[in-house]
Structure 1
Amino acid sequence: MTWADFWALIATLDGEATLESCQRLAEVLSRRSVPDIIGFAERHAEALYRLDQEKFGTLPVVDLTARDGRPFPQSSDVFLYTRCAVVAAGQAVWESVFFDVDKFAPYTSSECDGEWLLYVPDKAYELATGREWNRLTRYSFESYSNKDGWPDLPA
C-alpha cells in the first residue's frame, strides 16, 4: 500500500479515531484485498514508529497536573494513544508535528484518544477472512521501540 492510499483511508476518520469512525474504516478496509489490509497495518505501524520520539513522549498531558501542581507525564499507553490520535488527524497534522513539536502537544489532552485506531487492521482482517490475525509488522508501534527516537534509553 502506498502512503497516498494509507492517508486516503485515514481521511475517512474525519480527523478523529472514535469507535464509530474506526469501525467504518475497518469495514472500508475489509473490502480491499488481504495484501492491502497487511499494507495498511505496515504503514500504520511505521507512522506510529516515526512518532515514537523523546521530543513527543516527554511532553506532559496538557490538561492534567500532578497533586503538587507539576505537569503530568504521559504513560507509555497514553503516548501510544496520543500518537494514534495524531495519525487519525491526517497526513498534514502528522507531517507538521515533525517540524513543530508544539503541534503535537494538543493531542496529549485526555480528550484526545486514538486507541481505537490500533484495532482497525485486525478488525478489517477478521471481517475479510473470518479469522483472527496474529500480526507482526516490520516496525513496532509500542512506545519507546524507536531506538533512534530515544537515544538515551538503555538498550
Structure 2
Amino acid sequence: MLADEEFWRLVAVLGGQPEAQDDGPYERLTAVLAQESVERIIDFAETLAFKLYQLDRRVLAQATAPGADELSDDDFLYARCAVVVAGPTAFDAVLADPAAFARFTTVEAAHAESILDVPSNAYQKLTGAEWDHVEEYDYETGSNEEWW
C-alpha cells in the first residue's frame, strides 16, 4: 500500500470534486499512474480498496441525505468513492461523524465511481495487458464485517 500522504497526493489530481460529470480528472490520474511502475499502480489499487473498506459501515449506509431513498449496494459504493475523491479531510470527517456522509449520497456524486477504473486503466496503458489483480481488501458493500 501507499503511505497516506502519497495516496492523497495522487487523489488530489482529481481536484476534490466528486460531483464532476466528466472523465477528465480520472484520465489525468490514470496518465499520472501510468508513468509509475506496476508496483505503484498495484499499491494505489490496494490503498484505494482499503480506504473504501474502511468506509464500508452500516451506519454510513444508513446516513442518506434528507428525503433520499435508501442506498442500493452500488450507490453506497459510489458514495464511498465520492468521499475518497473529495480527499483526506472529507474522509476523516466521515469516519468521525457519520452524518457528514449524507452529502455524498446525492446523484451528483455518482460519477466518482470512475476512480475504481483508474488502476486497471493505468496498468493497461503501461503494460498493454489486462488487469487481473485482486485487492486484499474487498470493498463491496457489507464486506467489512466488523462494522456491519
**Secondary structure in 1 matching 2:82:** helix
Q: Distance in 2 between matches of 1:105 and 1:147?
A: 22
Which residues of structure 2 form unaligned runs of 5+? Answer: none
* 1:44 aligned to which of 38, 45, 48: 48
Residue 127 (structure 1) aligned to one of 120, 125, 128: 125
Structure 1, gaps ≥5 residues long:
66-70, 151-155
User: What is the distance in 2 between the residues matched to 1:99 and 1:128?
Assistant: 37
Give the structure with the larger helix fraction: 2
Q: Which has the higher strand share?
A: 1
Identity of aligned residues (%): 38
The structure with the largest alpha-carbon Rg is 1
Q: CA deviation at 1:100?
A: 1.2
Counterpart mapping for 1:1-155 below 5 A: 1-17=2-18, 18-60=22-64, 62=65, 65=67, 71-113=68-110, 114-150=112-148
**Coordinate RMSD, CA, aligned:** 1.2
Q: Please report the TM-score for the alignment, with normalisation by the length of structure 2.
A: 0.92
AA of the residue aligned to 2:62? T
How far apart, CA to CA, are the structure 1 residues paired with 2:129 and 2:17?
Answer: 27
SS class of match (2:141): coil
**Does structure 1 retain, via aligned residues, the 8 Å contact 2:56–2:144?**
yes
Number of aligned positions between the proteins? 143
Task: Show CA shifts across 1:60-79 (max 9, x none).
Answer: 3x27x5xxxxx510000000
Runs (4+) of structure 1 moved beyond 6 Å?
none
SS in 1 for 2:69: strand
Matched residues in 2 for 1:91 and 1:105: separation? 17
SS in 2 for 1:148: helix
TM-score where L is the length of structure 1: 0.88
